[in-house]
Amino acid sequence: MLTGSPSRAILLFAVPLFIGNVFQQLYNMVDAMVVGRFVGINALAAVGASGPAYSLMVSLVLGAASGASVVTAQIFGSGDSQGLRRAYITMWKILGILGLAFSVIGFLLAGPTLRLLGTPAEVYAGSLMYVRIMCCGILATCLYNGMSSFLRSVGNSSTPLVALIISSIVNIVLDLAFVLIGGMGVAGVAAATVIAQLVSGLYCLAYVHRKMPELGFSVSEFRIDPPAAKEMVRIGLPATFSTVVVTLSTMFIQAAVNSYGAIVVGAYTVGNKVENICFCLAFSIGLATGVFCGQNIGAGDEKRTVQGLYAGLRIAVIYSAVMAVFGFVFAAPLVRFFSPEPEVLAIGVPLIRLTGCFGPVLGMVFVFQNFLRNVSDVRPTVVMSFAEIISRGILPFVLSSWIGYFGIWWATPVGWTLSALIGFIRYKSGKWRGKAAAMRGQSSDPAMPVNTEQIR
């Protein structure tokens, strides 16, 4: 990340992330495919309708992991190996507390949240069961996201990939076993996902402590390091807030979709799955660009940081344009992969084609958000997220009152466009300069230095 071609470094780092995201989307797609084809449209709608409610809890975990990732990337770039160890321990305490809290909160509030979203009566019971089982596994989510964020921040994107491949295989096997053999329906796909996440997290944890035993710590050392914690909170809170805001915006859209019944909910679920799989490389490029910029800003190389931003934008836009064409041409076969229902096909194809046309804009959003976050300029990322919630919170209801459910589909592309413009304007203003955390030289911990080369 600190030497050589920025484009090459970002691509090499992004490819394992991309493959990992494909596998992650694959096992999410398998959940939808198994229930959609072997249980029925109501089961597919139940999984889709429960998504935003569960994502609200997970978004809080992802925000905390994001803050930890930025701090560890900057510390790694500065060469402070003792500070890296302290940040690692601090990350675990923060994620552990959050995981326990959100498991309880999510379980208790699952029902009220689904009712607030207007979940159709015919899918409510399945959605509630799905959310509650997933909330019981939030600690497993913390384990994987914490370990994968740490590994990526120090330049290792291949180990999270291996973990995801293993967990994807586990998830697919358990999906088929629990649903087709065990007859567990929606509960089966939820249980399979939780177990798969736990497997991936344990794999990453075992890898880190095998390669870097210096990171191991006793109960007496399980304490928060104030400078690292302060920076994680400073960056993580806005990142969490941004993620929550985006999640809330999807909940607004879900509420609008729910009002049209199970068929439209099912088609919307399929459209989301296709969108996620088509643009997961753009998401990976955004993450890779962020790590690149975080390490280089931590090393004090602003010129190379900007070069990384431009490289990330070029790659993301070109790739997203190609996938937009692919999605437009193959929209119908992609929908049929999930459901044979002709009504789902008629609704899902226009959704995929519309959002696909705005894929390059989404790629820009990913890059600008990760760039700003990793150079510690986090407030604009909150504004970018607010642009999405305003668009998604108002337009679905306004436009659907004029042109039906097709009007709902326009809310997301408009939100992406506003968010990308805000990110671009913030970059051009230059106000992001000088905001990176000065984490160097703060170490007073006599612990053994960490050999960071072992883990890469």
Mean pLDDT of 201-208: 90
Q: pLDDT at residue 322 above 80?
A: yes
Q: pLDDT at residue 448 above 90?
A: no
Residue % of the chain over a pLDDT of 70:
87
Q: Residue 219 corresponds to which tokens in the numbers above?
A: 């109960």
Residue 19 within any structural domain of the chain: yes
Number of domains in the chain: 1
Mean pLDDT of 32-50: 70
The b-or-e profile of 75-98 (16+ CB within 10 A means b, else e) is bbbbebbbbbbbbbbbbbebbeeb
Mean pLDDT of 335-351: 85
Which residues are CB-neighbours of 144 under 8 A, at least 6 positions away?
163, 167, 197, 198, 200, 201, 204
pLDDT at 438: 45
Residue 74 within any structural domain of the chain: yes
Residue 238 belongs to domain spanning: 6-436
Question: Over the chain, what is the mean pLDDT?
Answer: 81
Q: pLDDT at residue 443 above 50?
A: no
pLDDT at 442: 46
pLDDT at 220: 61
Which residues are CB-neighbours of 158 under 8 A, at least 6 positions away?
16
pLDDT at 103: 86
Please name the residue that has the structure tokens 């003792």: 82
Residue 244 within any structural domain of the chain: yes
Q: pLDDT at residue 184 above 70?
A: yes
Q: pLDDT at residue 86 above 90?
A: no
Read off the pLDDT band of 292 (50, 70, 90).
very high
Q: pLDDT at residue 129 above 80?
A: yes
Q: Which has the minimum average pLDDT: 255-264, 307-316, 359-368?
A: 255-264
